[in-house]
């Protein structure tokens, strides 16, 4: 069975095309965002002569901060307007601001316009919890797997597109690409509204907010784990492309984009493998240790070691991202998905914010390999804290049974879907 067929079966019948279109909205947003992230130092350097790593890190940190602050606001507005109506407005604004970012010549004006653009763009993150509300409980792990691979494919395309634009055209064209992505999202939203998806904006309420149980301590502990995890995986990213070009001696931004996208490429292969063979286990500590090894190899200073490290890091990144997000939705309630997702996104974004703030300073003070070493230390802390944050019985090796598989095949028996009890045993 093909992945597209799996997705069609996983999502609920009459709205399948609508939901696939919503996943497409996520993919478009990821592509446009991923075009900028690996090349932020080059973009600011080419357009405005910025050579200060700390200033680059501050720009990335503020872009993360405004998204963190905007997402809870958009979640409240969504309750009144509906997801699609909100996206229609915010992505139109983001498109116009992206075009303005491509034209301005003042760093100050660019800075303010870019921050406003990121505020508007933050609203697309609400598509994720909306899709989870629309999916049947037994298929939520499959949806998370599909979204994970969509995000990774978007990261590949975005990194390659950003590198190609920098190499063949100009840094300003990256923002034109981002604006084009926003415009395409607007068109998808218009199509969905015309198809009547607005009536699906809310799902049947099974419990009133007052009757819902309070957030568990496990959810807050998961948030702490995500903060530390996202700090560690984000720290090496801002200067990775430049590090590769300096280490390899190849000045090609396109090739640097390929190296940056290796973890995303591996994620696509892993999802395909899991679909065919089943994903054994749900452990957290073992992928953390493999991720640490990957980061240490990237810091080795040898091209071959760096590439091997990217592969190992990509394996760990995919496994950990999917497993932590499955845990979040199993700890939550469908009527609280948007709020809990916003809460955990605050922790995720907080980790990314700290990483962006520290990356430039660490790079300046300790050298180009230091972000990898500090990130490895962060993952080691995750592994050491795992028994307290995620449960004392967290295993270090995957279960050899197939009970914990994240699968794209909804026809598989229910014992192959990640269940609440299985997650609790972690």
For residue 93, name the pLDDT band (cuts at 50, 70, 90). Answer: very high
Q: Is the pLDDT reported for residue 170 higher than 90? A: no
Is residue 171 packed enough to be buried (19+ CB in 10 Å), middle (13-18) or exposed (0-12)?
Answer: buried
Q: What backbone torsions phi and psi does residue 238 show, to the nearest 5 degrees?
A: -55, -35
Assess whether pLDDT exceeds 50 at residue 412.
Answer: no
CA atoms of 335 and 278, how far apart (whole Å): 30
User: Residue 384: is its pLDDT beyond 80?
Assistant: yes
When comparing pLDDT for 361 and 342, which is higher? 361
What's the CA gap between 275 and 420, in Å, rounded? 21
Kindly state the tokens that stand for 201.
């904006």
Please tell me whether the overall predicted TM-score, pTM, comes out greater than 0.85 for this model.
no
How many Å is the Cα radius of gyration of the chain? 21
Long-range contacts, 7-15 (Cβ 8 Å, 24+):
7/146, 7/408, 9/410, 9/411, 10/135, 10/139, 10/142, 10/143, 10/146, 10/408, 10/410, 11/134, 11/135, 11/139, 11/143, 12/134, 12/135, 12/136, 15/134, 15/197, 15/200
Range with lowest mean pLDDT among 178-182, 296-300, 347-351: 347-351
**pLDDT, average across residues 92-118:** 94
Give percent of the chain with pLDDT exceeding 70: 75
Cβ(408)–Cβ(417) under 8 Å? no
Q: Quick one: tokens of 179? A: 């604006």
Q: Calculate the average pLDDT of the chain.
A: 77
Residue 260 has pLDDT above 80, yes or no: yes
Give the three-state DSSP class for 126. Answer: helix
What average pLDDT score do residues 379-383 get?
A: 93
Question: Which of 196-200, 248-252, 310-314 has the highest mean predicted lDDT (pLDDT)?
Answer: 310-314
Residue 113: what pLDDT?
96
Is the pLDDT at 378 greater than 80, yes or no?
yes
pLDDT, mean of residues 106-119: 94
Average pLDDT over residues 204-212: 46
- Please report the pLDDT score of residue 213 as a whole number: 53
Q: Which CATH class is domain 3-200+215-424?
A: mainly alpha
């Amino acid at each position: 069975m093909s992945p597209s067929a799996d997705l069609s079966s996983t999502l609920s019948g009459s709205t399948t095309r609508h939901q696939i279109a919503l996943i497409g909205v996520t993919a478009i947003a990821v592509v446009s965002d991923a075009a900028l992230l690996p090349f932020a130092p080059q973009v600011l350097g080419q357009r405005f002569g910025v050579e200060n790593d700390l200033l680059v890190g501050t720009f990335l940190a503020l872009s993360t901060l405004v998204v963190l602050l905007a997402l809870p606001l958009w979640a409240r507005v969504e309750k009144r307007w509906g997801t699609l109506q909100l996206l229609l407005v915010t992505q139109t604004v983001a498109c116009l601001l992206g075009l303005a970012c491509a034209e301005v010549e003042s760093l100050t004006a660019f800075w303010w316009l870019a921050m406003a653009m990121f505020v508007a763009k933050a609203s697309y993150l609400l598509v994720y919890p909306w899709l989870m509300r629309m999916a049947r409980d037994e298929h939520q792990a499959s949806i998370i797997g599909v979204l994970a691979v969509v995000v990774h494919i978007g990261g590949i395309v975005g990194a390659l597109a950003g590198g190609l634009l920098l190499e063949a055209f100009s840094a300003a064209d990256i923002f034109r690409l981002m604006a084009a992505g926003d415009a395409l999202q607007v068109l998808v939203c218009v199509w969905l509204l015309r198809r009547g998806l607005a009536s699906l904006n809310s799902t049947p309420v099974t419990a009133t907010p007052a009757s819902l149980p309070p957030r568990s301590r496990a959810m807050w502990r998961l948030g702490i784990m995500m903060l530390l995890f996202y700090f560690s995986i984000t720290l090496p990213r801002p200067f990775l492309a430049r590090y590769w070009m300096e280490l390899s001696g190849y000045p090609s931004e396109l090739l640097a984009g390929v190296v940056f996208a290796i973890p995303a490429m591996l994620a696509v292969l892993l999802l395909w493998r899991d679909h065919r063979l089943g994903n054994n286990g749900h452990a957290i500590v073992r992928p953390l240790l493999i991720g640490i090894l990957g980061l240490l190899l990237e810091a080795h200073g040898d091209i071959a070691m760096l590439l091997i490290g990217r592969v190992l890091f990509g394996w760990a990144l995919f496994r950990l991202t999917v497993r932590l997000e499955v845990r979040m939705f199993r700890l939550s309630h469908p009527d609280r998905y948007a709020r809990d997702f916003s809460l955990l996104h605050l922790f995720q974004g907080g980790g990314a914010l700290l990483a962006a703030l520290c990356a430039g300073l660490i790079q300046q003070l300790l050298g180009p390999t230091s972000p990898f070493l500090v990130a490895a230390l962060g993952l080691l802390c995750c592994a050491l804290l795992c028994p307290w944050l995620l449960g004392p019985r967290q295993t270090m090796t995957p279960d050899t049974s197939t009970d914990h598989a994240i699968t794209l095949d909804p026809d598989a028996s229910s014992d192959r879907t990640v269940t609440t009890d299985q997650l609790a045993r972690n």
